[in-house]
Amino acid sequence: MSILQSKYDAVRSLTRSLTVKLSAEDQMVQSCPEARPLKWHQAHTTSFFETFVLRPYLAEYKPFRRQFQSLFNSPCNVLDQETPERKLCASFSRPYLDEVIEFRGHVDHAIGKLLALPISEEASQRILLGLNHEQQHQELALTDIKHAFFSNPLCPPYEEQPVFSRLCRQLPKLQWHPFEGGQVEIGHRLNSDHQLDFCFDNETPRHTVLLAPFEIANREVTCREYLEFMSDDGYTRPELWLSEGWAHLRQAGWNAPLYWDRDPGDGTGWRIFTLRGWHGLAVLIDTPVCHVSFFEADAFARWRGCRLPTESEWEFVASREPRTGNLLDAALLHPDMATAENVGQLFGDCWEWTASPYTGYPGYKALPGVLGDYNGKFMPSQMILRGGSCITPADHVRATYRKFFPPATRWQFTGIRLAV
């Protein structure tokens, strides 16, 4: 079996394991415009391989069902929150979940036949792109089902058993680590000697940036620290907020991070909904705050007399650290407490908002054709996040990875790291 086949099998199997415990009814829910039903995630990622790999590279391939190409092969809508198709997705009861699973098996069998043949470098790279695309959707699927279960009056957990006993340890004090800056290189450099080396087009080209001296916090901001901001009227002081953020706050009625709810029985007065159900904030008080927007992260930083790091600063620091942390393979499904005094939590726990808008690097060129829609077309009006979260597949993150969302986004596992 080839290395690429093994990678393909592992990624596709993980998708199955994340969804197998959920009913067909669970997998049809779309609880907010940003989300998609889990059934759609599975079909959409499969449609990528059918459209961009099997049709052009396996002459004998016969599509599973002709209508699926238009129904599920919609890369332009993956992050486009304004399309009518996105908002109506949950109204499609057909195809049945069983047929989607059959579609996945049909495509998996055909990919196996293709990988048994000599294939071009272009075909290999498209398969790697499809696998990384599916890993993105594995994270989105968990994010979406969390919102769906939170929106359900029954508030069912995705996982029944809490695992927060790991949180019983001493939280490192927030400390600052100085860096001299100077001319540094950022962006991905492909390793031609590694068959599975991959990056998205927006991580290139590698280029030089000039960093002023800066300091960065050793860990992410905790729920306890964010509660202090809330207690100091952080949500009612317009001087702390960007004007667009203040408008969002007033329109949406924000007074706490998403998934926080009043709980008079908890010592803090709050509880938090997690993928493992409700937990009193007192249990999670020293874990990283998550599900905050860029606007909230920026307001908190101003309140603390700090700022958010730029993506160049973040990558410069993270490129020196191992790619380990509380990621999906740890199976906690929630941000964990920091453990070390040095700069930690760079990978996993929460995606960290940066102060950098999403633009192309100098000399950036999107992939040709429709494949370029996955990153290039989303550059206006979005902010960069770095580092991955507790539901990001472990082999999907790297120091150069650029996540991007609109600044009001809260349904993702998004958190805060401070800089000065």
| Complete DSSP assignment for 247-267 | HHHHHHT-SS-TTEEE-TTST
Residues 167 and 286: beta-carbon distance below 8 Å: yes
* Residue-level pLDDT at 402: 96
What integer best gives the mean pLDDT of the chain? Answer: 90
Q: In terms of Cα–Cα distance, which of 139, 153, 149 is closest to 31?
A: 149
As for how many domains the chain has, the answer is: 2
157 lies in a domain? no
* Residue-level pLDDT at 370: 60
198 lies in a domain? yes
* Residue-level pLDDT at 339: 86
Chain mean position to CA 216: 22
* Residue-level pLDDT at 161: 82
Q: Does 358 or 67 have the greater pLDDT score?
A: 358
* Residue-level pLDDT at 377: 65
Q: Does 173 or 378 have the greater pLDDT score?
A: 173
Q: Give the mean pLDDT of 7-24.
A: 96
Cα dihedral 171, 176, 182, 186, rounded to 10, equals: 20
Task: Give the dihedral sign, CA 329/334/339/344.
Answer: positive
Identify whether residues 333 and 205 lie together within a single domain.
Answer: yes
Characterize 257-295 residue by residue with b for buried, 16 or more Cβ atoms within 10 angstroms of its Cβ, and e for exposed. Answer: bbbbeebeebebebbbbbbbbebbbbbbbbbbbbbbbbb
Identify whether residues 128 and 180 lie together within a single domain.
Answer: no
* Residue-level pLDDT at 94: 82
Q: How confident is the model at residue 91 (pLDDT cuts 50, 70, 90)?
A: low
Identify whether residues 113 and 222 lie together within a single domain.
Answer: no
Lowest mean pLDDT among 161-165, 313-317, 401-405: 161-165
* Residue-level pLDDT at 226: 98
Q: Give the mean pLDDT of 245-272.
A: 95
Whether residue 85 has pLDDT greater than 50: no
Among 90, 124, 151, identify where a domain stops: 151
Identify whether residues 56 and 181 lie together within a single domain.
Answer: no
Among 130, 151, 172, identify where a domain stops: 151
420 lies in a domain? no
Whether residue 78 has pLDDT greater than 60: no
CATH number at residue 24: 1.20.120
% of the chain exceeding 70 in pLDDT: 90
% of the chain exceeding 90 in pLDDT: 79
**pLDDT, tens only, 323-370:** 999 999 999 999 999 987 789 999 999 999 999 999 999 999 877 766
Q: Give the mean pLDDT of 233-251.
A: 97
Whether residue 84 has pLDDT greater than 60: no
Identify whether residues 147 and 211 lie together within a single domain.
Answer: no
Whether residue 37 has pLDDT greater than 90: yes
156 lies in a domain? no
Task: Give the dihedral sign, CA 301/307/311/315.
Answer: negative
158 lies in a domain? no
* Residue-level pLDDT at 79: 35
Identify whether residues 395 and 280 lie together within a single domain.
Answer: yes
CATH number at residue 300: 3.90.1580.10
Chain mean position to CA 384: 11
Identify whether residues 224 and 107 lie together within a single domain.
Answer: no
124 lies in a domain? yes
Q: Is 402 left (phi over 0), alpha (psi -120 to 50) or beta?
A: beta
Q: In terms of Cα–Cα distance, which of 89, 182, 195, 216 is closest to 140?
A: 89
135: Cβ contacts below 8 Å, ≥ 6 apart: 11, 392, 393, 396
Among 88, 123, 151, identify where a domain stops: 151
**pLDDT, tens only, 114-149:** 999 999 999 999 999 999 999 999 999 999 999 999
390 lies in a domain? yes
Identify whether residues 194 and 315 lie together within a single domain.
Answer: yes
Q: Give the mean pLDDT of 245-268.
A: 95
131 lies in a domain? yes
Whether residue 190 has pLDDT greater than 90: no
Identify whether residues 127 and 200 lie together within a single domain.
Answer: no
Identify whether residues 137 and 182 lie together within a single domain.
Answer: no
Q: Say how many Å lie between the first and final Cα of the chain, rounded.
A: 50
Task: Please give the residue range of the domain that contains residue 313.
Answer: 164-415
Q: Does 378 or 5 have the greater pLDDT score?
A: 5
* Residue-level pLDDT at 110: 97
Lowest mean pLDDT among 38-47, 52-61, 154-163, 302-311: 154-163
Identify whether residues 193 and 324 lie together within a single domain.
Answer: yes
Identify whether residues 137 and 116 lie together within a single domain.
Answer: yes
Residues 332 and 345: beta-carbon distance below 8 Å: no
Cα dihedral 142, 374, 398, 207, rounded to 10, equals: -160
Q: Does 365 or 97 have the greater pLDDT score?
A: 97
How many CB atoms lie under 10 A from the CB of residue 102? Answer: 14
